[in-house]
Structure 1
Amino acid sequence: MKRHLIQLAQCVALLGGMLQASAYADNAGHIVFVSGKADIGGQSVALNSPVAEGAELTTGADGYLYLKTIDNGFFILRPNSRARIVAYHVDTREPANTHIKLELLNGVARSISGDAVKQARQNFRFNTPVAAIGVRGTDFTVYTNQETSRIAVISGGVVASGFVPGCSPQGTGPCEGSMSAELFARQQGQLLQISKDQVKPLLLQSNGVAPDVIAPPRPDEPGSKAANTGSTVISSTPVNELNLDPKRGADIKQAISAPGLNTNNQGTSQIMWGRWAEVLGQPAKLDLVKLSSEAKTIAILDNFALFQTKNTEWQPPNTGTMGFALKDSEAYVRDEVKGLMTVAQIQNASLNVDFAKATFATNFDLNTTIGAYKLNSVGSVDSKGQFSNDNIFTSNMVVQGVLTPENGGAAAYLFKSRLDDTHLAAGATVWAKK
C-alpha cells in the first residue's frame, strides 16, 4: 500500500509539472497596466487580462499597454503601435527548450528581458518588418514602420541585422554575422538604424529620432525587474535624485495650470500643463496619476505633461489662418553625461496655424548656458485640434500640443530637442491668439 501511495504521489507531481509547463506554453503573461485605447485581438483590454501566444496587441493615439511576462520581464507598447506575441514558451528545467519570439509591426515598444530570456538568449528573437534583434540580457526600445527600424539600448546590449540569406523573418534566435551590428548601453546617445534597402545596421547619433522621442514613456513605466513583493519597480529616475546644481533652483519658473475659459457655447475647456517631477528644488505642479484618470492626456515629454479636460475637443475651422503670441513657458537643458540640469529661456517665439491646410509652424530662440539655439517644427493639425510634427526630418524638435477656442484662440505644446551629443532640451509653452 505504501509503495502504491508513493507512486500515486509521484504521478500527481509529474502531472502538476506537465500542467505547469502547459500553462507556460499557453500564456506569455498578463496585463498589469492599461491606459487609453488598447486592445488584444480586437477586444478591449482589461487589467490582469492574460495574453496568450499568438496574441496581437494594438494601441491607439493615447494607448499604453504593460505586459508582465511569465518570467518577470516586461513588454511595453506605447501609443499608435501594433505588436504580436509570436511565441512565449518557457522551460525552467531545460532553458535550452525555451523559445520566445516577439514582433513589432509598427510604432514603439520596449522589451525588458525576463529570467527565461536571460538564461536562453540564443532562443530569443524580436522582429520588426525590416530587422531581427537579439539580446545580451537587455532592456531596449524599438521604433519601426514598414521601411525603417531604430533601436536604443537602456541596459545590456543588442545584436541586430536586416533580413538576409541566413537571417529570415521566420527564423529564431539572434542573427550574427557580417551583416549584423551590436549596440550597448554604454554607447550613450547612439542608436542602430536598419532600413529596408540597407540591411546592415547603421550606428547613428540619436539627434531627436530615438524611440523615446517619437513615443515618450509614461513616468510610471516599469523598470528592468520586479521587486520581491511582486510590485513594479519604477525605472524613471526622479529628477531630484540626479546630481543637480542647487544654485540654479531660484531661476526655475513655477509651472502653472491655465484657468478654464469661456468656449463660446462649447462648455468649459481647460488646458493643464507643467512639470510632473521636481526640478532644481522646485516642486512638481501636476499629479499625473490623478490627471490621467480625470483628464485627456495630450502629451508627456521628459518631465512635462499636457492635459485637456475631457469632452472639450475643438473642431478647428477649415479655412483661414491664426497667429499666436507666447504667454508663458518653462524649459531646461539636461547634460546627460554629468547629470546636471540648467534653466533655458525662450525668446522670439512664433506659432502659426493654417486651418485650410491643417498645418502648423512654430519656432523660437532657446538661450542656454551652453549657447543659443534656433528651434523649429512644422506638422499637422487633426480634426480635434491636436497637433504634432509628423516628419522629424523637417524639424529639429519634437512638438506635441493642442488648440482650444478660449478667448478666440489658445494653444499649448510640449517640446523636446537634441542640442548635441550630450545635451537634451525640453519644455512647455502656452500661447494666446494675437
Structure 2
Amino acid sequence: MSNFMTSRTAPVAVALGLACLAGQAAHADGVPSAQRPVGEVTMSVGPVIRTPAQGLPETVRRGTPIRPGDRLDTADGGHLHIRFIDGAMVSIRPGSRMWVEDYQYNPQQVSMSLVRFKLEYGVARAISGAAAEGAKDRFRLNTPLVAIGVRGTDFVVRAGEATTRAAVNQGAIVMAPFGDGCNAQALGPCGTTSAKLLSADMGQLQVEFRPQLAQPEIKPLQGAVFASNTQDPGNGHVVLARNAAAPATPAGDHPESERLATTALAESAVKAVMTGQAAPPPPPAPQPVPPVVVLPDPVPVPPPVVATPEPTVPPPPPILQWGRWAAVASGDAAIAVSRAEAAEGRSVTVGNAQYSLYRATNGLTDLANGLGSYSFSLDKSYAQYEVSGAMSPASVEQGRLTLDFGNARFATDLRVASQLTGAVLISGAGAIRGDGIFFDRTVPGQAIAGAAALDGKSAGYFFEKAIGAGTLSGITLWSRP
C-alpha cells in the first residue's frame, strides 16, 4: 500500500495546523465541533457510500469530508482510504461496513483526545495517528464480538458475526470479548482476564475470537484470512496479461490445403492431354509370362522362446507426504520423511511443531469440480504421548473420515490408545476450504488440521489432544477407491 505507508511526519504537521485553524474558526462561525470534518477521503475505488448521522446517503469521492457519526459502506469492488486530522489513516476493504462513532483530537492537549470506531463486518486496516499515540487509553475499535485497544499500532481486523481476527504489522493490540468488565461504551483496552495481547514482535501470528471460546486465541498468521476479493490498490496494481499469441502452423501441417493443391495439378495434366498439348506415352509392349513353378512350402521352424522380463515401473510419488522437523526418524519412518524430501515437487499445507503436510498440485489450484461425498480408509498413522518432553508410543486402533466436497464439510473419529492414557476418542468436524484445507478447534484442548489432495482421492491430517499432564498427538494418511 505504497500511497498508504508514506512518512507521516509532513502530513501530521499539516494536520496539526489544520486542526488549530479549525479550532480557532469554531468560535467565529458557531459550527459545533461535532459537525466539523475530522478526516478526508484520499482514495475511493468502486461503489462506496457515506451515510451521515443526520442526512441522506451519498456517494464517496476523493476529497469527501468525514465527520463523527458517519457510516461507511464498501460494496464488492469498493475500496476506501481516509486520512484523519491527526495523521491517522484507515483503509476499508471491499464488502465492509465501518462507523466513525467519535473522533476528538486536541493538539494542545493530545492526552484528552478520543477515537472510537466500529467495524460491523468486513476488513479494515488502521494506522494510529497522534490521537491514538498520545491517548492510547482513549482509543477503541469495536466489532460485534470484541473490543480492540492499541499500543501505537498498524493493524488489520476482519470482523463477522461468528469470528473476529486481527493481525499486527507494527506495535501491539489488546483484544477482549465483551462481557463483565468489558463493554462497547468504554474506551481503551479492556483489562479483563480474558484479554489477549498481540505484538508485532511476536512474529507471524494472529489473534482470533469466536463466541464458543472463553478468550481469544493466538494462532499462526493465515494471509488469506485478511485478503479481500479485490487487491488493495495501496499494495500494488492488478495486471491482467494475455497469453502470447499461438505460433503459426508449420508448413506441412495443412492436409486439406495439400489435398486441394494435388487435385488442381491432376486436373491441369488431364486438360493438357485433352487439348493436344501433350500426348500420353504409348503403353508398354506385352511381355511373355514365365511359367509358374509351384514349390512345396518349407516346414516352419518356430523361433526359440526367449522370456523377456517385464520392465519394472516405479510407483508414482505420493501426492501427500508428511515431513518431519526432526533430523532422525523416531518410529514414524513408515509415514514421514525429512522435510527436504517431502518438499520435492510439493508445497506445504498444514503443520504443527513436529510435522508438516506437503502436497503436489499436479497443475491444479483448487479442488477439482464435480466432487461429491466420500468415505476414506485409514492407510497409515503414527501417534505418541508426550509428558514433560518424554515420549511414549501410542497407536491408532481405528478411524473414520468423511469428506463431503459438495457441501464443503468434513467429519472424523479416531480411537487412539497408549499405556499411559488408555483408549481415547478424538472426534471433530468442520468446513473444507476451496483449496482443500480443513481444521477444527472447537473442542477445548484439541486441534485437528489437514488437507485433501486436489483430485479428492486422498487426505491427511494431524491431531493433538491434551490428556492429563501431557499431549496425545499424531499424523494420518487416508485414501478412497
TM-score by length of 1: 0.50
Q: Which has the higher strand share?
A: 1
* Higher relative contact order structure (alpha carbons within 8 Å, sequence separation ≥ 6): 1
* Structure of larger gyration radius: 2
TM-score by length of 2: 0.45
